[in-house]
Amino acid sequence: MLAYKEMNREELKKELESLKKDYEQFRQENVNLDMSRGKPGPDQLELSMGLLDVLNSKSDMISTDGFDCRNYGVLDGIPESKKMMAAIMGTSMDNVIVYGNASLSIMYDAISRSYTHGVLGHTPWCKLEKVKWLCPVPGYDRHFAITEHFGIEMINVPMDENGPDMDMVEKLVAEDEAIKGIWCVPKYSNPTGISYSDEVVKRMAALKPKAEDFRIYWDNAYAVHHLYADKQDEILDIIAECEKAGNPDMVYEFASTSKITFSGAGVAAMATSKANIDSIKKQMSIQTIGYDKINQLRHVKFFNDFDEVKAHMMKHAELMRPKFQAVIDMLESELKPTGIGQWTNPLGGYFISLDIMEGCAKKVVAMCKDVGMVLTGAGAPFPYGKDPDDKNIRIAPTYATPEELTKASRILIVCVKIAAIEKMLEA
């Protein structure tokens, strides 16, 4: 097959005609496929069913520090749960607060608290004229939804294979006191799957923001979510790096077991400096008497230690690799020869990021939807849902089976090709 740019108009038209027949064929097949959300598949959820057996009516419900996990109390989590979440984040348990089932809620809460009460004694953001935020793109749509919800102006920062453009980040935060934060998914980033290089982490930790209440929102969502046993990304510990750089209070780190055990019923945590923890706990003591300590205990008893967490993640990897591979194989065999797409082939995380011809992403997503195949909305990985180049498509290959993913990839690729040729013929 020729690369499209080497085809003449007649060849392109002929190719288009053939692709449209394929597309009509898909329509007649009444497919029902979904590559839209980063949800674990049912097979992955089965891996954690033992979680429901570790506690029963005969169990000892007392935490290592002597608290009855069934009763009220323990604001920041039982010690053994702090220890487990600290291991996942690669930090010390003294830096950890354990919450409920969702790290997204912790991030919302952190921004909401900053908005209503300020950060470590600084002016509450609701009293400021303008608050701005740095958003490495493509990124996680639910992050951007939170900052948008609070009327925070979001600024796109380009990402490359090492992380965000740190020249730009350093310059902007040093100049503009209105910039109060940056969203980061530092490991197996959503959606590109890249991990921040040591240099990027060190530069991030050494930022000299004009705003003293600037915070790095370090969503370590895929901390242990490797796809391979032998090829794994590792990132530096941002909390230690911030301490070393003299910015101990500058980072909030987040993680959860949502994609380790049950997505809807895991344990989420935050890690940060002692000063931040003391301040946050003051608000928490108004907000709750304590989170679900039984679920914290259940998770600790299921895993026992961090080695078991890592072993468990390899079971996920075994289920996920064929799914990622199904998509990558199709992209390699069906799209690569045309020269009209670029994609990531990550070592972990939940996504493949596909860049197609500029101006085509919305059209492709709509075409896929028309024949029963749901993708994440085009533009979703960008603030305000606006992909400036309209070219990025986020592929979530975890929920479906490898066979479904092969089928879904075929549909996607046909649509990508049609949109590209139509665009080329317009020119």
Query: If binding is defined by CB under 8 A, does position 72 make contact with a copy of itself?
Result: yes
**Closest CB 268 distance from a copy of itself, rounded Å:** 10
CA pair distance 341, 322, nearest whole angstrom: 22
Q: Cβ closer to a copy of itself: 3 or 294?
A: 294
Q: Cβ closer to a copy of itself: 288 or 345?
A: 288
Q: How far is residue 66 from each of residues 59, 92, 97, measured CA to CA in Å?
A: 14, 21, 18
Residue 220: φ, ψ to 5°: -85, 55
CA pair distance 233, 391, nearest whole angstrom: 27
**Closest CB 34 distance from a copy of itself, rounded Å:** 12
Residue 42: φ, ψ to 5°: -55, -35
Q: How far is residue 233 from each of residues 19, 178, 195, 222, 347, measured CA to CA in Å?
A: 38, 33, 7, 11, 7
Query: If binding is defined by CB under 8 A, does position 263 make contact with a copy of itself?
Result: yes
Pairing relationship of beta strands 163-164 and 215-219 according to DSSP bridges: unpaired
Query: If binding is defined by CB under 8 A, does position 102 make contact with a copy of itself?
Result: yes
What radius of gyration, in Å, describes the C-alpha atoms of the chain?
A: 23
Among 22, 43, 92, 105, binds a copy of itself (CB under 8 A): 105
Residue whose token pair is 């079971």: 315
CA pair distance 136, 314, nearest whole angstrom: 29
Query: If binding is defined by CB under 8 A, does position 176 make contact with a copy of itself?
Result: no
Query: If binding is defined by CB under 8 A, does position 45 make contact with a copy of itself?
Result: yes
Query: If binding is defined by CB under 8 A, does position 374 make contact with a copy of itself?
Result: no
Q: Cβ closer to a copy of itself: 117 or 244?
A: 117
Query: If binding is defined by CB under 8 A, does position 60 make contact with a copy of itself?
Result: no
Centre a 10 Å sphere on the Cβ of residue 142 and count the other Cβ atoms it contains. 14
C-alpha dihedral over 120, 123, 129, 133, to 10 degrees?
0
What's the token pair of residue 141?
């749509």
Kindly write out the interface string for residues 225-254 of this chain, putting x where it contacts a copy of itself by CB under 8 A and - elsewhere: ------------------------------
Residue 96: φ, ψ to 5°: -110, 140
Those residues with Cβ within 8 angstroms of residue 171's Cβ, 6 or more apart along the chain or in another chain: none
Query: If binding is defined by CB under 8 A, does position 30 make contact with a copy of itself?
Result: no
Q: Cβ closer to a copy of itself: 44 or 195?
A: 44
Query: If binding is defined by CB under 8 A, does position 104 make contact with a copy of itself?
Result: yes
Binding segment toward a copy of itself, per CB under 8 A, in 140-148, 272-280, 314-322, 352-360: 140-148
What's the token pair of residue 96?
């950890």
Kindly write out the interface string for residues 264-303 of this chain, putting x where it contacts a copy of itself by CB under 8 A and - elsewhere: xx-----------------x--xxxxxxxxxx--------
Query: If binding is defined by CB under 8 A, does position 59 make contact with a copy of itself?
Result: yes
**Closest CB 296 distance from a copy of itself, rounded Å:** 9
Nearest to 346 by CA among 197, 206, 209, 232: 232
Among 13, 70, 171, 208, binds a copy of itself (CB under 8 A): 70
Binding site for a copy of itself (CB under 8 A): 37, 39-40, 42, 45, 48-50, 52-53, 55-59, 61, 68-74, 100-102, 104-105, 108, 112, 115-117, 124, 126-127, 142, 145-146, 149-150, 258, 262-265, 283, 286-295
